[in-house]
């Protein structure tokens, strides 16, 4: 009987152990040409699946042998407290569903975080020997080698895995890759030092493999060009050098570390003084520091996002807005002046891009303290373990430096699936190395005999695991797959019927992300080219079904402006295409737009879309008032001014106001226009607006062509290919003849003959 029990115990232990090892493969999991968000969703479902399998084995393991229950430790208490407080914040959340599941793009709701906490608890309970942890880190480093090798491939083949200017590897985002590369480098160095202690290390291939991985991790870190992680590494370096300088084993080590610390600090200060020098533009990671201004662009938007987080936290200081509900705070407090930085590029923030502030606003003060405690407790245990002799100085310095780096980079970024895998893995290892006694069992556990779990318990655990796998992972995976197939049918084959069939299947699956599926269904329908007046029953059915699905999403997320916006656009599009069948479409659309605007009062995109739809259904005057409201939020936004002018042109009203708006827009942001667009503005100015201003613009445009006009070419247009039109020369010649400057007039006529040998100053007669 004893042998039977022990044999089953070994099986439960193996299932748990190997499932936890499998979780380390998460960074490699991608699904290109298979799923929507192929770098995120498969990682989330894979990690949750293997952790669920591990949890099933673990429950049976502790039922067989209670000695494998989690040890009591300060770090374990901190992890549990973090999850419990997150759960409490979810209960009072603005949007409970979003708090539980987040969305396809993030995959980090409360349910996902519970899997990470379970991963930590099982790791600290199962991996309790040096050999077990050596295998754990070997698997992690093997995965890291593949991830970083993929980043290197992207350097030579940028199109590999949808690569871009910066490497992202299998993680899909340069920020994620940079953080992962640093984790890989630190862990490789930690394991390398362990190998060196074994003697004759230079003869071991593992030592040289680790050295190669260190080089590869540095290469991946540099290729990712991520400022936040770079700053984190810099602060971690200062932290580690300071510790070695004060606690090194020998005087020589201490003085060497102090010298490096001084040189490093001086280098940082010096770089800060000359970071905008052109020489740094040739160095991949340093060129990202060329513009650290907070006055415009991405930096200004993120500073604003931080301010929103603080202001929103003051409204709900204890419970917070709910995990992953920062988007609602940002929408509510969004200011139209943000549009002046980069149009719609970065105005939809779903997190504060500072995870500490994000946690503060979403989980309140308690959640913020619980998250900070994860770092503080881990650092405290490492330092205390070193002082008591349980942890070597090298181990303490490397692990604490890694945690410091992670914390600092989170001031500029946010957690994601891969960062949580590495973070909780390191926390589990910290719990292991800082344990005063690494005994497998306690005195009470040793006195109890192993026992076999009952058949009922075995069945319950198995059914529970299968149920979780099916509803939390398989169904969402299947629905997402249908979404992708639908998109492919539409994009590759222009098959709208197949798209609708597959998209409808996806929306009928009980996925926790069904509302995102409904939103995407509406967005795609809006971009399908449909012939106006097509009143086929099939098209009516598609619109009615899609609108019904969008209404369900709005009902479940009434404070989400995007769901309301999609619903409003669908109603308007239905009336525009089938006015007889959807005669009240604009009325229902107005209600949805009003609801969307009530959740984000200054978000111009809502007003601009609303006005555009008003124009399409012939409600021009109402649309113009909506456009003017949008303009009032950011009257100095070049993008808004241009959009306003385009509305006036499309409505065929007030060409003078349209021309003046385009001219002001061009002066504010010339980059927004091509050189031929600028020429049209100049010609319109000559016809409807300021004559001298139009002359200056035309002279500047001719200067771009290399002609000496006495006016400089606008900087964004220098070097742009340009062939001026006849009208430019006619306007210039006519203007200067009118002022009596015949010499200037003849000069521009001569320029004109270079391009048009048959040029005449007279307008061609209209037939």
Q: DSSP letter string over 643-672?
A: HHHHHHHHHT--HHHHHHHHHHHHHH-GGG
Which helix (H) or strand (E) segment holds residue 87: the answer is helix 74-91
Question: What residues have CB less than 8 Å from 243, skipping those under 6 apart?
Answer: 393, 396, 397, 400
Question: What residues have CB less than 8 Å from 570, skipping those under 6 apart?
Answer: 522, 525, 526, 543, 546, 547, 550, 589
Q: Which of the residues in the chain have pLDDT under 70?
A: 1-7, 198-203, 271-298, 340-346, 436-452, 532-534, 765-767
How far apart are the C-alpha atoms of 541 and 687, rounded to whole Å? 49
Tokens of 693: 């201003």
Please choose, from the candidates 112, 118, 172, the residue with its C-alpha nearest in 3D space to the C-alpha of residue 512.
112
| Residue 110 · residue 118 · CB < 8 Å | no
Q: What are phi and psi of 166, to 5 degrees?
A: -120, 140
pLDDT score, position 300:
78
Give the DSSP letter of residue 761: S
| Residue 524 · residue 503 · CB < 8 Å | yes
Neighbour tally for 719: CB within 10 Å: 8
Neighbour tally for 658: CB within 10 Å: 22
pLDDT score, position 441:
44
How far apart are the C-alpha atoms of 145 and 205, rounded to whole Å? 15
- Quickly tell me which residue has 């499932």 as its tokens: 19
Give the DSSP letter of residue 191: H
How far apart are the C-alpha atoms of 673 and 665, rounded to whole Å? 9
User: What is the three-class DSSP state of 350?
Assistant: coil
- Compute the radius of gyration of the chain from its Cα atoms: 32
How far apart are the C-alpha atoms of 405 and 181, rounded to whole Å? 12
Please choose, from the candidates 379, 421, 357, the residue with its C-alpha nearest in 3D space to the C-alpha of residue 179.
421
- Quickly tell me which residue has 């708090």 as its tokens: 99
- Quickly tell me which residue has 């742009």 as its tokens: 720
Tokens of 399: 């692990």
| Residue 86 · residue 110 · CB < 8 Å | yes
Burial 149-175 (b: 16+ CB within 10 A, else e): bbbbebbeeeeebebeebbbbbbbbbb
Q: What are phi and psi of 97, to 5 degrees?
A: -60, -40
| Residue 122 · residue 58 · CB < 8 Å | yes
Q: What are phi and psi of 102, to 5 degrees?
A: 55, -135
| Residue 552 · residue 507 · CB < 8 Å | no
Tokens of 520: 């995407």
Neighbour tally for 258: CB within 10 Å: 16
CA distances to 38, 351, 362 from 365, in Å: 34, 17, 9
Q: What are phi and psi of 107, to 5 degrees?
A: 60, 40
How far apart are the C-alpha atoms of 740 and 308, rounded to whole Å? 59
pLDDT score, position 276:
61
How far apart are the C-alpha atoms of 109 and 242, rounded to whole Å? 38
- Quickly tell me which residue has 């993008």 as its tokens: 639
How far apart are the C-alpha atoms of 15 and 681, rounded to whole Å? 70
CA distances to 126, 131, 610 from 675, in Å: 66, 67, 30
- Quickly tell me which residue has 């640093």 as its tokens: 182
Which helix (H) or strand (E) segment holds residue 355: the answer is helix 355-387
pLDDT score, position 445:
45
How far apart are the C-alpha atoms of 62 and 466, rounded to whole Å? 19
How far apart are the C-alpha atoms of 258 and 226, rounded to whole Å? 28
| Residue 413 · residue 355 · CB < 8 Å | yes
pLDDT score, position 200:
57
* 163, HSE (Cβ side, Cα atoms, 13 Å): 21
Question: What residues have CB less than 8 Å from 663, skipping those under 6 apart?
Answer: 681, 685, 689, 690, 693, 697
């Amino acid at each position: 009987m004893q042998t039977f029990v022990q044999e089953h115990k070994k099986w439960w232990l193996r299932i748990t152990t190997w499932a936890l090892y499998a979780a380390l493969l998460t960074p490699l999991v991608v699904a290109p040409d298979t799923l929507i968000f192929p770098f995120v969703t498969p990682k989330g479902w894979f990690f949750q699946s293997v952790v669920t399998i591990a949890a099933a084995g673990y429950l049976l393991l502790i039922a067989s042998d209670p000695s494998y229950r989690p040890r009591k430790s300060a770090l374990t208490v901190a992890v549990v407290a973090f999850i419990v407080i997150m759960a409490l914040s979810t209960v009072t959340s603005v949007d409970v569903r979003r708090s539980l599941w987040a969305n396809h793009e993030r995959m980090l709701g409360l349910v996902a975080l519970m899997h990470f906490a379970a991963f930590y608890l099982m790791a600290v309970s199962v991996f309790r020997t040096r050999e077990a942890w050596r295998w754990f880190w070997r698997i992690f480093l093997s995965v890291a080698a593949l991830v970083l090798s993929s980043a290197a491939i992207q350097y030579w083949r940028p199109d590999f895995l949808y690569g871009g200017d910066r490497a992202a590897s299998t993680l899909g985002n340069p920020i994620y890759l940079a953080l992962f590369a640093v984790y890989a480098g630190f862990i490789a160095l930690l394991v390398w030092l362990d190998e060196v202690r074994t003697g004759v290390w230079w003869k071991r291939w593992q030592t040289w493999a680790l050295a190669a991985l260190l080089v590869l991790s540095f290469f991946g870190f540099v290729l990712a060009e991520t400022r936040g992680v770079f700053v984190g590494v810099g602060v971690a370096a200062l932290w580690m050098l300071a510790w070695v300088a004060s606690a090194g084993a020998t005087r020589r080590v201490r003085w060497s570390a102090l010298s490096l610390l001084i040189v490093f600090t001086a280098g940082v200060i010096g770089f800060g003084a000359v970071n905008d020098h052109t020489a740094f533009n040739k160095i991949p990671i340093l060129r990202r520091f060329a513009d650290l201004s907070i006055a415009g662009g991405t930096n200004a938007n993120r500073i604003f996002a931080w301010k929103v987080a603080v202001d929103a936290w003051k409204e709900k200081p204890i419970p917070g807005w709910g995990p992953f509900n920062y988007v609602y705070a940002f929408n509510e407090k969004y200011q139209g002046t943000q549009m002046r930085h980069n149009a719609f590029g970065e105005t939809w923030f779903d997190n504060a891009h500072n995870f500490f502030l994000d946690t503060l606003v979403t989980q309140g003060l308690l959640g913020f303290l619980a998250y900070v405690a994860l770092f503080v407790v881990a650092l405290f245990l490492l330092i205390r373990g070193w002082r008591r002799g349980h942890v070597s100085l090298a181990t303490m310095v490397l692990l604490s430096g890694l945690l410091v780096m992670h914390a600092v980079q989170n001031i500029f970024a946010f957690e994601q699936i891969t960062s949580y895998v590495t973070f909780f893995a390191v926390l589990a290892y910290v719990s292991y190395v800082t344990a005063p006694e690494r005994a497998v069992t306690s005195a009470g556990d040793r006195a109890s005999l192993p026992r076999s779990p009952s058949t009922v318990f075995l069945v319950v655990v198995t059914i529970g695991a299968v149920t979780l796998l099916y509803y939390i992972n398989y169904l969402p995976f299947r629905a997402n797959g249908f979404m992708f197939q639908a998109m492919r049918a539409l994009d590759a084959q222009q098959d709208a019927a197949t798209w609708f069939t597959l998209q409808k299947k996806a929306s009928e699956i009980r996925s926790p992300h069904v509302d995102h599926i409904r939103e995407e269904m509406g967005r795609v329908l809006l971009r399908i080219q449909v012939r106006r007046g097509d009143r086929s029953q099939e098209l009516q059915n598609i619109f009615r079904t899609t609108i019904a699905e969008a209404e369900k999403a709005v009902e479940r997320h009434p404070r989400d402006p995007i769901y309301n916006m999609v619903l409003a656009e669908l109603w308007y599009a239905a009336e525009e295409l089938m006015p007889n069948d959807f005669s009240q479409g604009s009325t229902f659309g107005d209600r949805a737009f009003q609801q969307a605007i009530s959740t984000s009062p200054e978000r111009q995109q809502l007003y601009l879309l609303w006005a555009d739809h008003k124009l399409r259904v012939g409600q021009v005057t109402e649309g113009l008032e909506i456009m003017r409201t949008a303009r009032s939020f950011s009257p100095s936004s070049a993008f808004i001014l241009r959009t306003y002018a385009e509305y006036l042109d499309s409505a065929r009203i007030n060409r003078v106001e349209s021309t003046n708006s385009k001219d002001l827009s061009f002066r504010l942001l010339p980059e927004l226009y091509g050189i031929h667009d600028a020429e049209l503005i100049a010609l319109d100015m000559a016809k409807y607006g300021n004559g001298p201003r139009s002359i200056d613009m035309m002279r500047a445009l001719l200067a771009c062509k290399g002609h000496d006009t006495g006016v400089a070419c606008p900087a964004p247009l220098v070097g742009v290919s340009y062939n001026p039109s006849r009208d430019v020369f006619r306007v210039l010649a006519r203007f200067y003849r009118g002022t009596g400057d015949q010499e200037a007039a003849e000069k521009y006529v001569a320029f004109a003959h270079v391009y048009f040998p048959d040029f005449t100053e007279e307008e061609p007669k209209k037939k």
